[in-house]
Amino acid sequence: MNRIDQRFAELKAAGRTGLIPFVTAGDPSPEGVVPLLHALVAAGADLIELGVPFSDPMADGPVIQHAGERALAKGVGLDAILAWVRAFRATDMATPVVLMGYLNPIEVHGYERFAREAAQAGVDGVLLVDCPLEEADTGAAIRAAGLCRIQLAAPTTSAARLERLCGAAEGFLYYVSFAGITGAARLSVAEIESRVGAIRARAQAPVAVGFGVRDAASAAAIAAFADAVVIGSALVQRLAGSADAAETCARAQAFLAPIRGALDARAAHAA
Amino acid sequence: MTSKIAPPEDFHAYPDARGRFGPYGGVYVAETLMAPLEALAETYLRLRDDPQFRAELDRDLAHYVGRPSPIYHAERLSAEVGGAQILLKREDLNHTGAHKINNTVGQALVARRMGKTRIIAETGAGQHGVASATVAARLGLKCVVYMGAVDIERQAINVYRMKLLGAEVVPVTSGSKTLKDALNEALRDWVTNVADTFYIIGTVAGPHPYPMMVRDFNAIVGREARAQMLAQYGRLPDAITACVGGGSNAIGLFHAFLNDRRVRIVGAEAAGEGLATGRHAASLAAGRPGVLHGNRTYVICDDNGQIGETHSISAGLDYPGVGPEHAFLKDTGRAEYVGVSDDEALAAFHRLARTEGILAALESSHAVAQAIKLAREYPKDAIVLCNLSGRGDKDVHTIAQREGITL
Ligand SMILES: Cc1ncc(COP(=O)(O)O)c(C=O)c1O
């Protein structure tokens, strides 16, 4: 069983909601990435999404755009990112890592080479923002190397597409909570709940909800019906501008602790 | 010429149902945009064959845009060059001054049929922004135009024109602050406002169905030109040329001629300060296959796949991608793509002004420069047809500044 399935099975057995922080690889600092990944785990992360910076992130809002621009200005690329995952894996064999990004950096790196190197480094899944199900043969090498292709579902996704997405889902299905870009805040919990309900009725894979989750309250509200919550922009914003790796880790800990607490309190209450 | 892909029997059979031109094109967007793109493709394919829609479009093209545009024999220019006869397809005479209106008139009619009340557009030179603001005003739709902060500076006249037409112009300050960033920002707006908003993309780029739809709306240029050639000269041209930014005016001219194998097709990309300097916008001549803005095509990027900054004296050609159909035409060897530098374009601008009394857009001046080069390769009785995609009024400030003149 791969690490993602393993982790969701453990969460289910324990009756807990997964916490998935997203950070942009190389921001706030390239040296701080590996300590940050460990700090996220220490603060209660169940799975980590590591953003691969791209010059033209068309689905991202200003916070993640700027984090990506800062990382690119420091020369961050796939080679460095895979080396960080390898270093993280040296002491953490359990926490799944999903790379999230856009196609062109991988296309230029070469799909087969990327898939081989990512699998060797200990990456568990890949979420390609600009590669919908229709173009799935792009990057077929990624699946062939044993990595999960994480699919997105959105409020605009039609019933027919949802059916296909649910059938194709691997690892988990990432439900985008509203039609918009990352970092916007337009959560309508009732709407999300009914959509996630429809997805869970169809999909074998667990459902994680992201976009717009920013604090303990919004995370707890989503946790009532989702298998996991993803927190991106709010965390990236919080980490931006920290002076050194130690401060970045401390900020991550301070930011995630109340969210982890709220998720666990809800689980304890439900049990 | 080397061709990486065997040329097909019928170039008019593309794209396929998935929006592919061979390995290029497709729909590389976030899940949220899949539904609106499917709805757009379905609506457009239905309208394309709807006689009432066609009649409406033809009426607008005739009475609002002012079509057909003539083909004009540039006799003094041709004589001065001393080679083939140069003919200009006068898209500069269209309402709003460029080919861009052919597309916006069409897409605005589609937007209205879909019940959308808000138009968004990206723009580089401002010509597409003006053409979008124009049709939005005419149909009473709200219009927001995204424009790179750098372009706002160098195309001040067009920014003011858009405002006069009632559009809101939003400066884009991310990335390189030019056309590609304006496109990113427009996509972000669309993803956020899909319910009431129609995104009028200004060139043959973006996800399917845009490269097909924008081509179809501009293909009138080549259809007219081909018929005008046969009617007025009794034959087809020996070579045709157009400038290539995203590639809409070029594919507009080329498309009707794609199956006429004896007609040579040459696209002129912006070589900026020279292909060797790295300061250019020649995606086909100097880029590599990649994925940008929803399609697979040739892009200008580094070894990490990061899209590069481009340079051209003309804002409308300053784009690191290119329409996927051009990528296909390049790889099949059906069309050649070459670079024309800033200096060559400027020289052509002046030459056309002085010999023919026509101020061409800086974008179109690249095509004129290429037409002059081509004309030299042919005898006097040959014909080179050049798409004069737009007029140069918007560029007089840029040219004056470049030449050290304060207006
Ligand atoms: C007059 C003119 N020609 C050409 C272009 C380039 O666009 P395309 O390559 O899509 O024709 C522009 C773009 O702004 C333009 O204004």
Q: What is the pLDDT of residues A131-189, one digit of tens each?
A: 999 998 888 999 999 999 999 999 999 999 999 999 999 999 999 998 888 887 777 89
Q: What is the mean pLDDT of residues B13-30?
A: 97
Average pLDDT, chain B: 97
For residue B155 the two structure tokens come to 């195309």
Interchain contact A135–B (C-beta under 8 A) = yes
How many angstroms separate the CA atoms of A24 and A70, rounded?
Answer: 10
Angle at CA of residue B149, ends B144 and B150, nearest 5°: 135
Q: How far is A126 from chain B (nearest CA, A)?
A: 14
Question: Which one of B183, B213, B317 would you pick to mutate in the ligand 1 pocket, going by the greatest count of ligand atoms within 8 A of its CB?
Answer: B317
From the list A254, A230, A232, the residue with the least C-alpha distance to A242 is A254
Closest ligand 1 atom, residue B364 Cα: 3
Amino acid at A141: A
Q: Is B32's CB within 8 Å of A176's CB?
A: yes
From the list B300, B297, B347, the residue with the least C-alpha distance to B81 is B347
Interchain contact A136–B (C-beta under 8 A) = no
Q: Which residues of B touch A77 (CB under 8 A)?
A: 304, 306
Q: Is the pLDDT of residue A271 over 70?
A: no
Question: Is A124 known to be catalytic?
Answer: no
Peptide bond before A96: cis, by omega within 30 degrees of 0?
Answer: no
CB-closest option in B18, B31, B290 to A157: B31
Q: What is the pLDDT of residues B285-344, one digit of tens each?
A: 999 999 999 999 999 999 999 999 999 999 899 999 999 999 999 999 999 999 999 999
pLDDT score of A175: 96
Interchain contact A196–B (C-beta under 8 A) = no
Which residue out of B78, B91, B100, B185 is catalytically annotated? B100
pLDDT score of B1: 45
Interchain contact B194–A (C-beta under 8 A) = yes
- Nearest chain B residue to A180, by CA: B192
B218 CA from centroid of ligand 1 (Å): 12
How many angstroms separate the CA atoms of B221 and B214, rounded?
Answer: 12
pLDDT score of A205: 96
Q: Is the pLDDT of residue B3 over 50?
A: yes
pLDDT score of A138: 85
Q: Is the pLDDT of residue A194 over 90?
A: yes
Is the CB–ligand 1 distance for residue B97 below 6 Å? no
B319 CA from centroid of ligand 1 (Å): 10
Is the CB–ligand 1 distance for residue B205 below 6 Å? no
Among B18, B28, B299, most A C-beta atoms within 10 A, so best to mutate, is B28
Q: What is the mean pLDDT of residues B123-147?
A: 96
Interchain contact B39–A (C-beta under 8 A) = no
Q: What is the mean pLDDT of residues A96-123?
A: 98
Interchain contact A177–B (C-beta under 8 A) = no
Q: What is the pLDDT of residues B330-386, one digit of tens each?
A: 999 999 999 999 999 999 999 999 999 999 999 999 999 999 999 999 999 999 999
Interchain contact A137–B (C-beta under 8 A) = no
Is the CB–ligand 1 distance for residue B92 below 6 Å? no
Question: Is B100 known to be catalytic?
Answer: yes
Closest C-alpha to ligand 1, atom 16: B127
CB-closest option in B26, B174, B301 to A108: B301
Asked if the interface predicted TM-score (ipTM) of this complex is over 0.90, the answer is: yes
B245 CA from centroid of ligand 1 (Å): 6
Q: What is the pLDDT of residues B194-221, one digit of tens each?
A: 999 999 999 999 999 999 999 999 999 9
For residue B363 the two structure tokens come to 């974008």
Q: What is the pLDDT of residues B47-62, one digit of tens each?
A: 999 999 999 999 999 9
pLDDT score of A267: 80
B248 CA from centroid of ligand 1 (Å): 7
pLDDT score of A187: 77
A270 CA from centroid of ligand 1 (Å): 61
Confidence of residue B2 (pLDDT cuts 50, 70, 90): low
pLDDT score of B154: 79
Question: Is B389 known to be catalytic?
Answer: yes
Among A65, A104, A135, A178, most B C-beta atoms within 10 A, so best to mutate, is A104
Q: What is the mean pLDDT of residues A114-121?
A: 98
Q: Is the pLDDT of residue B14 over 90?
A: yes
Closest ligand 1 atom, residue B97 Cα: 1
Q: What is the mean pLDDT of residues B7-21?
A: 98
How many angstroms separate the CA atoms of B310 and B282, rounded?
Answer: 8
Q: What is the mean pLDDT of residues B86-92?
A: 99
From the list B389, B7, B17, B19, the residue with the least C-alpha distance to B212 is B19
How many angstroms separate the CA atoms of B267 and B339, rounded?
Answer: 8
Helix/strand/coil (H, E, C) string of chain B? CCCCCCCCCCHHHCCCCCCEECCEECCCCCHHHHHHHHHHHHHHHHHHCCHHHHHHHHHHHHHHHCCCCCEEECHHHHHHHCCCEEEEEEHHHCHHHECHHHHHHHHHHHHHHCCCCEEEEEECCCHHHHHHHHHHHHHCCEEEEEEEHHHHHHCHHHHHHHHHCCCEEEEECCCCCCHHHHHHHHHHHHHHCCCCEEEECCCCCCCCCHHHHHHHHHCHHHHHHHHHHHHHHCCCCCEEEEEECCCHHHHHHHHHHCCCCCCEEEEEEEEECCHHHCCCCCHHHHCEEEEECCEEEEECECCCCCECCCCCCCHHHCCCCCCHHHHHHHHCCCCEEEEEEHHHHHHHHHHHHHHHCCCECHHHHHHHHHHHHHHHHCCCCCEEEEEECEECHHHHHHHHHHCCCCC
